[in-house]
Structure 1
Amino acid sequence: MLAPPALALALGVWGIGRGGTLWGDEAVTYEVAHRAPWQIWHTAGTIDAVHGLYYLFMHGVFALWDGGLVALRLPSVLAVAAASAGVALLGRALAGPRAGLAAGLVLPLLPAVQRYAQEGRSYALVCALVTWSCWLLVRALGRPSRRRRWCAYAGVLLTACLLHEFAVLTLPAHGVTVVCCGASRRTVRAWAAAACAVGAGLLPLALFSTTQSAQVDWIGAPGIRHVLGFAAVTAVGVVCARTAPRGSGGASAGPPVPRPETLALPLLILPTALLMALTPLRPFYVERYVLSYTVALALLLGVALDRCAVVGYADRARRRAVSVVAVAAALAALCPVGTYLRTPQSRQNDATAVARAVRESGRPGDGLLFLPARRRVWTLARPGEFRGLADLALDRSPVASHTLHGTELPAGRLRARMLAARRIVAVGDPPGGPVEATGREAVKRAVLRTYFEECGRRTVTTALITVHARPGHC
């Protein structure tokens, strides 16, 4: 089963630098992870507690090797390789070696997996840990009396939840699996105890992170594209599940082992469905928050590929030819997607491109303004590009204030500093986005509208860079 992780590694290191660019969240990871551990701890106390453990982990990575963008993204590459190996072992245990090999090879080819395998965020690590929690669950169901297996299962899943809280949505999916595979009451109680341990371990972080819920105010309700995409993936999974072999995947006497679809379908559907169902209360759905659905999809596709090859073609040579053609067609279809994902244009916002555009738009001595303040995170990627520009609103820097985007001056002092400037480079969101109604943000917009005229604007990825000057000084 070396082929799946080898393929994942090859795809992961292909174009890992993306032309020296990184998007806003990666810039946050890079800057925060370079802070001292005590600074990271204090930062998590004010914002981004949900990513605190990941920042500490990345601090350790950079302490071992400060390899820039490669070091930033390499843990995600290795995590996808580990997930591919785990999916291969799951498929082997539940449906046989061919199905396991196919599933392990499918996972790193999925576009969503290729994307997050090359990002300096926690999502690939969480996906890998969820994969291995599934493997440990299958092992524990095979020997439910072994407490060490349940402890290992709970420990791995709790680690995933501490890296990102929404990994806890794996628990309902596993609960359905345990019940539907015909487990005994003793086994169900053992799983419930492990699930309670995970919940208890996560509870302090979950309660504390509710005090920082404003940082996800940018998440909107899932659009029709997201709903249709989820429906399409679910339909593919259901169709693949119908090809799965009947009976226990373990094919051995003793405690029941889940069938492939019994494990995969709940993991494919429930985490995403539950996250979308929370929308009327508060929108939380973002695809990368439930990336573990790719594990289930790869497992179902691997089993379906194996069954189609076995049932459809009895002749070995013909099966082999059909397999080669199918693989070639899949690679041909995925190649443009994979190539695009390794370009700077494939990410929402390119912090390095924004920094470069600000440098080109501004002059030494110009004022600099971020609308809203959270867009100051774009300075974290290349702070040198902003030297020579006076950040008019900044009171305390992100490091000094233990925040991601620093703290800003009171509205009165901010207004006075803006009026003292002759030219201001404003960096914000394009028209049509949400407008913050805080006093400082209102003062920024009012002063620019009343006392300055617009000299020019340019859009770089998702940033709008506008140059303002006093009348007659454009």
Structure 2
Amino acid sequence: MTSARTLPDSPAGVAGRRSAGSDEEPAAPRRLPARLDWLWAALLTLAVAVFGIGRAEPWRDELASWNAASRSTGELIDMLRHVDAVSGAYYLLLHGWVSVFGDSLAVLRLPSALAMAGAAAFAVLTARTLFDRRTAVFTGLLFAFVPAVSRYGQEARSYAFVVLAVSAATWLLLRALERPVLRRWAPYALAVAAAGLFHVVSLLILLPHGLIVLLRWRRDRRGRTVVGFAVTVAVGLLPVVPLVLLGQRQVSRQISWIKTPHLRSFADLWSNLFASPTTGLLLGALVLLPLAWSRGRRPAGELLLTGAAPILAAWVVSQGSTSYFMDRYLLFTVPAWVVLAAAALAALRPLRAGALALAALVVLGLPDQRQMRTEWARIEQDGRAVAKVIAKGYRPGDGFAPVRGDDKVFMIDYQVEYYLPERVRLKDVFAERSALQRDDLFPKECAQPVQCLRGTQRVWVVTWSGTDNPFHKFPKGQAEALRSQYRVVESKTVRGLTVSLVERTP
């Protein structure tokens, strides 16, 4: 493949002619070696991602991660047999992390920031391989300031690791295609396995990767390249197959809520993919430009396949009984779009035009960067304030009754429990079997609420705010049991929630 690095008008070519042309020219200022571009890009991405990392309150998916990671290894494996197997690799990784470093918000999210930093490194390496150093520099700068990179680099979920694995796989594939030998195919197999283990939807990347292999084969007719790719993918998928089979049994309760996408869903996805409608619009205006110049058309076409094919495939597959068309499930395509946009910026002349366009992208994305770091960026309920109220008035033997029923997916119980101090040990009065006992993320609720309340003198009741009813949204049986046997001693409304202390009537 012709690379911009070998063109006579490339920056490297010009520099080479100058150094050979005259001994009297002043020495060029020292610059960071090109081979270290991936390092500064990773450090920049990490710095941006960790800024304000512990500020936003955790939302329900992060609380699920915390709950799962807080279990013992055996308890976690037992849970994965029943629910959330597709997140198992991430939960196990996070379990090891919190066992060493603790479970504060910043600590819970830091692995994702590190993963995004790694993804930045591989995006830069891909840009350098397909284009030139200038594109690689623009890639490193642009990737760090895409709002979605910070959004998911500050979330205790697996998506940043998926981006890392797919970014690594793309670069490793390019290396293997340059020299298709075992020591280059083996790392690619590991990256494919990691992508699938962190999220099976990311395996859609194999579609554009396969197309790239076929396009390269069509040009050079090296049959061993196709065979090597096929064998490598098969090996990489081996550890993922059991996860896919187990995940299929759990899919009805995991993602049945995702709606079948329509054509207009592409526009929504594109905006959400970058966590900023403005950034998405500007990147969309740039990504097709590299296809217009002959020296960049081939690598740009391969990157376009890498970004677009998984999205199109997800849309088609989602027309069936199960939908996978969700922006965060397809986040792994972001590096490809960033490299394409960076190639467009690098091609602008003069160079300051590209720099100004990059600066505009960064500045226009700042409102979204700022918003995602606000305290209530992800949830509207203040579980921390509820925990403070309970901790202040707690007595040993107190019960706990968070609203669940149809609203259990909002995990109000975990929002409060995450902030409760160790000394506060509440009895979950309407949990016949705890989530831990039933190897699940949710407890089994009591079929006979009156009996479950026996022996509990005081109960802390937590439900949604906006009503005078302290048992709002509780299942009918639970609400009647509380109303008939307890009186409200005190009640306090905080952001989004109401916490009431009820005491058994004489």
One-letter code aligned to 2:100: L
Contact 2:119 2:164 in 1 (8 A): yes
Q: 1:195 aligns with which of 225, 230, 233?
A: 233
RMSD (Å), alpha carbons = 3.8
Stretches of structure 1 that go unaligned for 5 or more consecutive residues are 250-257, 314-318, 432-439
Contact 1:104 1:298 in 2 (8 A): no
Is 1:267 paired with 2:300?
no
**Distance in 2, Cα, partners of 1:301 & 1:138:** 19
Stretches of structure 2 that go unaligned for 5 or more consecutive residues are 1-36, 272-279, 468-473
In the TM superposition, 1:18-57 aligns within 5 A as: 18=55, 21-57=57-93
**Distance in 1, Cα, partners of 2:249 & 2:482:** 33
In the TM superposition, 1:100-249 aligns within 5 A as: 100-144=136-180, 146-183=181-218, 184=221, 185-213=223-251, 214-222=253-261, 226-230=265-269, 237=284, 240-244=287-291
Deviation at 1:336, TM superposition (A): 1.8
Contact 2:135 2:342 in 1 (8 A): yes
2:5 maps to which residue?
none
**Distance in 2, Cα, partners of 1:4 & 1:209:** 35
Query: Kindly tell me: are residues 447 and 216 of structure 1, through their superposed partners in 2, closer, same or farther at Cα, counting changes over 3 Å?
Result: farther
For these two proteins, the number of residue pairs brought into alignment is 443
Deviation at 1:15, TM superposition (A): 0.8
One-letter code aligned to 1:31: N
1:346 maps to which residue?
377
One-letter code aligned to 2:147: P
Contact 2:403 2:463 in 1 (8 A): yes
Contact 1:177 1:262 in 2 (8 A): no
Deviation at 1:36, TM superposition (A): 2.0
Secondary structure (helix, strand or coil) at the match of 2:75 reads helix
Contact 1:371 1:428 in 2 (8 A): no
Q: Which moved more, 1:196-205 or 1:228-237?
A: 228-237
In the TM superposition, 1:312-351 aligns within 5 A as: 313=350, 319-320=351-352, 322-348=353-379
One-letter code aligned to 1:273: L
Secondary structure (helix, strand or coil) at the match of 1:210 reads helix
Deviation at 1:208, TM superposition (A): 0.9
Deviation at 1:340, TM superposition (A): 1.3
Deviation at 1:224, TM superposition (A): 8.3
Deviation at 1:382, TM superposition (A): 2.3
With the length of structure 2 as denominator, give the TM-score of the two structures: 0.75
**Distance in 2, Cα, partners of 1:338 & 1:332:** 10
Contact 2:282 2:361 in 1 (8 A): no
Contact 1:396 1:407 in 2 (8 A): yes
Deviation at 1:242, TM superposition (A): 3.6
Contact 1:8 1:80 in 2 (8 A): yes
Contact 1:244 1:304 in 2 (8 A): no
**Distance in 1, Cα, partners of 2:385 & 2:309:** 38
**Distance in 1, Cα, partners of 2:55 & 2:394:** 29
**Distance in 1, Cα, partners of 2:390 & 2:422:** 6
2:106 maps to which residue?
70
Deviation at 1:228, TM superposition (A): 1.6
1:368 maps to which residue?
401
1:295 maps to which residue?
335
Deviation at 1:169, TM superposition (A): 1.3
**Distance in 1, Cα, partners of 2:420 & 2:485:** 29
1:89 maps to which residue?
125
One-letter code aligned to 1:142: E
Q: Which moved more, 1:380-389 or 1:287-296?
A: 380-389
Secondary structure (helix, strand or coil) at the match of 1:344 reads coil
**Distance in 1, Cα, partners of 2:109 & 2:143:** 18
**Distance in 1, Cα, partners of 2:81 & 2:466:** 31
Query: Kindly tell me: are residues 58 and 423 of structure 1, through their superposed partners in 2, closer, same or farther at Cα, counting changes over 3 Å?
Result: closer
Query: Kindly tell me: are residues 357 and 296 of structure 1, through their superposed partners in 2, closer, same or farther at Cα, counting changes over 3 Å?
Result: farther
Deviation at 1:147, TM superposition (A): 2.0
**Distance in 2, Cα, partners of 1:220 & 1:449:** 38
Q: 2:419 aligns with which of 373, 377, 382?
A: 382
Secondary structure (helix, strand or coil) at the match of 2:290 reads coil
Could you report, residue by residue, the CA deviation over 1:389-408 in whole angstroms, capped at 9, with x for unpaired residues? Answer: 65331123333333222333
Contact 2:176 2:185 in 1 (8 A): yes
Query: Kindly tell me: are residues 384 and 150 of structure 1, through their superposed partners in 2, closer, same or farther at Cα, counting changes over 3 Å?
Result: same
Query: Kindly tell me: are residues 41 and 423 of structure 1, through their superposed partners in 2, closer, same or farther at Cα, counting changes over 3 Å?
Result: closer
Deviation at 1:55, TM superposition (A): 1.5
**Distance in 2, Cα, partners of 1:196 & 1:275:** 21
Could you report, residue by residue, the CA deviation over 1:132-171 in whole angstroms, capped at 9, with x for unpaired residues? Answer: 1000010111112x02222211111111211111111111
Contact 1:80 1:113 in 2 (8 A): yes
Contact 1:26 1:120 in 2 (8 A): yes
Query: Kindly tell me: are residues 234 and 151 of structure 1, through their superposed partners in 2, closer, same or farther at Cα, counting changes over 3 Å?
Result: farther
Deviation at 1:295, TM superposition (A): 0.7
Contact 1:98 1:306 in 2 (8 A): yes
Could you report, residue by residue, the CA deviation over 1:58-97 in whole angstroms, capped at 9, with x for unpaired residues? Answer: 2222333336223211211111111111111111110111
Q: 1:283 aligns with which of 310, 323, 341?
A: 323
Contact 1:265 1:296 in 2 (8 A): yes
